[in-house]
Structure 1
Amino acid sequence: MFQLSARAQDFVERTQNFIQNEIEPIEADFWNEVHKLNAGSDWTTWQWPTQLDILKTKAKAAGLWNMFLPDEKLGQGLSVQEYAHIAELTGRSLIAPVVFNCNAPDSGNMEVLWRYGTEQQKYDWLLPLLGGEIRSVFCMTEPEVASSDATNMQATAIIEGDEIVLNGRKWWSSGLGDPNAKIIIFMAHTPDETKDRHHQHSMVLVPIDTSGVKIQRMLPVFGDYDAPHGHGEVSFDNVRVPLTHFIGGAGQGFEIAQGRLGPGRIHHCMRCIGAAEKSLELMIYRGMQRTAFGKEILKLGGNLERVAEARVLIDQARLLTLYAAYKMDTLGNMAALTEISAIKVVAPSVLEKVVDMAIQIHGGAGLSRDTPLTGFFAQARALRLADGPDEVHKGMIAKLELAKRGYARHSKK
């Protein structure tokens, strides 16, 4: 079921070699440079080291570029399942997804434009994103409501003549601090009494320099601003854009969001699995290199059992995620709803557990920036909230299980 074609296997092997030969040898120095360049919370001065453009140029030349996009001309024509193996490899590094132009939120935004954008929208925004010339932002979560229920959204996108007027405040907008961020996809309420509650929201393209768009601040994650990427709070005060900036038309926001989040969750989950593999590798290496009380640390207490537990957890998560990708490729996203929600619960939790074990083996070093472990831990904990919290996905799984047995819940809304 999960056997790769010769072409896909070639991509996997070349990606693995590129990470090992080009990224891993310089990654520690790269992040040290990032922290030097971007000390503090003044996002207006943030910048990437010049090494990033060098790596991106090499990746593009090697044909390891836009591998997430299944289009054979604009991407590499890989299926969701085929790309999943590549996403796992990139998850071993905190920079690899950016190097290959396969990073969130850009990959999801590019897929939205590819699937639902007009030809003009593709020319204006998709092509520069695919070229790695600009970065993008996705604005959905809001500070004043429980965003686990997206219908709570208070931001509005109201049609006035030949314009869309946008008002509202968004936060945890990832990539908002990036110096190359140029375009926002803004999701908001477009009231229409003739439609049900899942057809009253829209996605709108907003150039980041549009009048009325104001970046309020960057939000730290566990005290780290994740510069120069950043997660920001941004306000929209009577922002006006042409009607042509609707993606897919007014009221299509939820439908588009489902198309965006399905493949994106595969990407997130496989990157989690790659990060868990890297954490296990670091855990074993550290545990066998350090001794205490006359033994290698890994052989003390229950540490060997933790290695075994990590191995089982990672492999279970990988198989479940690949199965979800297989169903998406063969039967479509709707047929894979249970599996998509299941992996979103499982994969970040597995990474959180495995990286916690690795931190414990590393002792104080595990809490520092000397290893990628703190970055992996923040990634795992954040993903238990991002793209829907665990509780929402568990609710979806339970609802689908009840429906299989004739207990479907009907709503009049």
Structure 2
Amino acid sequence: MKRTAAALTALFLAFASPALAELAAPPTPRAVIADPARDKAHPPGMAAFQLDIAGSKVNAILYTAAGDQPHPTMLFLHGFPGNETNIDLLQAVRRAGWNAMRINYRGSWGSQGKFSFANARADGEAAVAWLLDPANIAKYHIDPKRIIVAGHSMGGFMAASAAAADPRVAGTVMIDAWNIAGDAARITDDQSRKAAVENMRPDTAPLATTPEALVDEIVRDTAKLNLETLAAKISDRPVLMIGAEYANAPKVRKQAAAAKAAGAKALTEAYYPTDHSFSDSRIALEAEVLRWLARFDPTILPAGPTIPLHAAYDEQNPFARAIRGEMQVFKVYEDADVLAFMDYAPMEPGHVLVISKTSKARNLLEIDPKDLAKVMAVAQKVGQAEVDALGLSGFMIVQNNGVGQSVPHLHVHVIPRIAGKPVYMAENAKADPKDLEAMAAKIRAAMR
């Protein structure tokens, strides 16, 4: 049995708002959850190579971003010993248009040489110098003014150390960073030293060192391994400190306090209820880092401000202009009251927008139910046409008000659903106009 337009409208009003409610949280950058369109001329890639540091070959990879313009670049330094690779974070950073580089310190994971905290610090500095080498800047399209050093756990310490050593580093990301010097306070006698050695032993398997040597280094070089001191030294530049509440968050708060005491003016703190590896907060971690990176690259975040719920109607908004014929749209359907056309940045091929031509309602709160009924009746027809023309097993209706809304004229999204493919609510890449017109022709032919 077919539902009437009025019944469809009532059903939509009853269920749309709770089902599609937006969380009161910062926007998730598209790069966290969606792949970019392929750049055929300058596609992304990966370079694997070795850095020569003090006569040792250090393994490195560089995830190169698409495009031939200079890219901001993030150097990522791994933890102790580096079992958590954080490659998912690096890939998200690359999807956002950044180069992302990772090294394995001397004496770790196949790199030549001996592992030590001192050597790891020097390796981080050498990697920064490599990124700033004019030959590498030209070859890998690196923007030398936007080099960020990031690290997880011990890598957070190493990131702060590398940034402190080179003022050309634009900012630092420290993820549940390990203040190595903090362990020295617990080593007070032979018994506590032996306990520290045994606690460290399982993690030294992939490292060319011994736990005894590392414990001795912590005791000997405590002052050099104090992260709170380093946090103060890098407080003149933007810093992001992220803590895991079930791991190092209390220590991260102390590091942040040290930076604030040193006059930090661009310190961002974030804390998540998760473990040291962010095992159940990976998406949140990636989003947090990319939102912070947006201070160096505004294109990372979804474009445009939030549309206020209550304001005067803007006669120059894009949909008003489309209705007047002042802006090209690829039409699927039009009558005296309603216009349906292709979304210029489709969530899926076949994504259609349905708007009222006669109502000047900015959102669902303002539209007359009779006008909404006409819009929903056409949305129903468009959904059926998408199913018939594209061989779909389903479609989705989305309608945003305020948060998530990009144009202040009520519009209903009719979006094809692909069986087994998840939905990503994110800013999407613009489609080729030729593809939009071809898709519109298919849907138009199936409209009835």
TM-score above 0.5: no
TM-score norm. by structure 1 comes to: 0.26
Larger radius of gyration between Structure 1 and Structure 2: 2
Higher helix share: 1
TM-score norm. by structure 2 comes to: 0.24
